[in-house]
Amino acid sequence: MSGSTDKYDVAIVGAGILGLSHAYQASKRGLRVVVLERHAFAQGASIRNFGMVWPIGQPAGRLFELALRSRGIWLEVCRAADIWHDPCGSVHLVTREDEMRVLEEFVEFGRPRGYQVELWDKAEACRRSPVARADAVIGGLWSASEVGVDSPRAISGIAGWLAREHKVEFRFSTPVLAIESPRVMIPGGEVHAPRAIVATGSDFEQLYPEVYAKAGVQRCKLQMMSLASPAPGWKLGPMIASGLTIRHYPNFSPCRSLSALEARIQREQPELNDLGIHVMMSQHMSGELIIGDSHQYDGAISPFDSARIDELILAELKRFITLPAWNITRRWSGVYSKLPGSTLLCEDVAPGVRVVNATAGKGMTMGFGLADLMWEDWDGFKL
């Protein structure tokens, strides 16, 4: 095809959640949008995750507010596109007194800052979370803000809806070879767009490797599994996080008691820190349970998954959760990009070309809000 006739207002490279978020916001503003995806369908971190829209994990202030903004857009999009979603909330189930102290401190800190949280004692945690082991769990932190989506179906469903209802053009199996704005070169031709957004996830080096090297962007690999639903119609209830998760997300960092918890984990279970393991559980539309995960960076990443990591994840879950059966149906790994010390890499790398990446595993939670904020003031955007 001749590139000279393929003219758009915006070309987006990548059909993961960040690419879709930007396509939605640009099309809402009346712009003609094309999304160029190198694979036959989006198959990176956007479909290899828990499906958790997770505001509770974001630090107080602007990032938490942005996560709530993103949550609102998720609900808007899911309703408009008839995409399954479950505003089920979440609970951190804990088994140790040092974990409970952090939760108590966080409730006191978080409520004045907009977190819709409450502390559950043992009886309430076991009543409200049917998987909690009564002989292990001593309490929990309930949060009302989390929403579950079925990641693979949601990502493909949003793309289909954007194509049907917002006239966004998708070109799958179309790698971008180079960008010389307004020309975006693809095999056999080019498209023209005065704005290009590069949202290529863990494939970030394909177009602007020097930008990522200078910023210090890392790759992070995680391992995950799914379990068959225990029975037809069985419901997990709130999405689950553990005491280990408390040390992973930055929302808990202001809690003074966190350091004692971290020291105890390092003393008792250093392997969990070495492998970046914290455990969570969600439920997708089919009823399957999604569990994980681990975190390994750059040189520690192997193309081969570790049976030991899976063993540790399952052992930790079984310590505080009970299920009628633990039938593993799938195992997989995912890779996302991370910018140490920051949530987002947003850089204008050439006139009309903006790189947006490195959401550190928070793309499902932050993507829609980030895109909305960015298109609200394109030239003056700052996070």
Express each pLDDT in 213-244 by its tens digit: 898 999 999 999 999 999 999 999 999 999 99
| Whether residue 3 has pLDDT greater than 90 | no
Q: What's the pLDDT at 1?
A: 37
Candidates 3.90.1150.10, 3.40.50.300, 1.10.287.3510, 3.50.50.60; correct CATH number of 3-47+152-215+342-376? 3.50.50.60
Mean pLDDT value across residues 311-321: 97
| Whether residue 258 has pLDDT greater than 90 | yes
What is 90-144+218-336's CATH number?
3.30.9.10
Q: Which helix (H) or strand (E) holds 36?
A: strand 33-36
Q: What's the pLDDT at 45?
A: 93
Q: What's the pLDDT at 257?
A: 97
Give the integer Cα–Cα distance in Å for 257 and 93.
Answer: 17
Give the integer Cα–Cα distance in Å for 171 and 31.
Answer: 17
Domain with CATH 3.50.50.60 in the chain: 3-47+152-215+342-376
Q: What's the pLDDT at 15?
A: 97
Indicate the pLDDT class of residue 86, thresholds 50, 70 and 90.
very high
Give the integer Cα–Cα distance in Å for 330 and 134.
Answer: 28
Mean pLDDT value across residues 70-90: 98
DSSP reduced 3-state for 296:
strand
CB 116 within 8 A of CB 56: no
Mean pLDDT value across residues 205-217: 90
Indicate the pLDDT class of residue 342, thresholds 50, 70 and 90.
confident
Mean pLDDT value across residues 50-67: 96
Domain with CATH 3.30.9.10 in the chain: 90-144+218-336
The reported pTM is 0.95
Give the integer Cα–Cα distance in Å for 152 and 201.
Answer: 16
pLDDT in tens, 138-154: 999 999 999 999 999 99
Buried b (16+ CB within 10 A) or exposed e, 202-212: bbbeebbeebb
**Beta strands, E only, 175-301:** 178-180, 183-186, 189-192, 195-198, 218-227, 239-242, 280-283, 289-292, 296-297
Distances (CA, A) of 20 to 161, 246, 375: 11, 30, 13
Mean pLDDT value across residues 293-322: 96
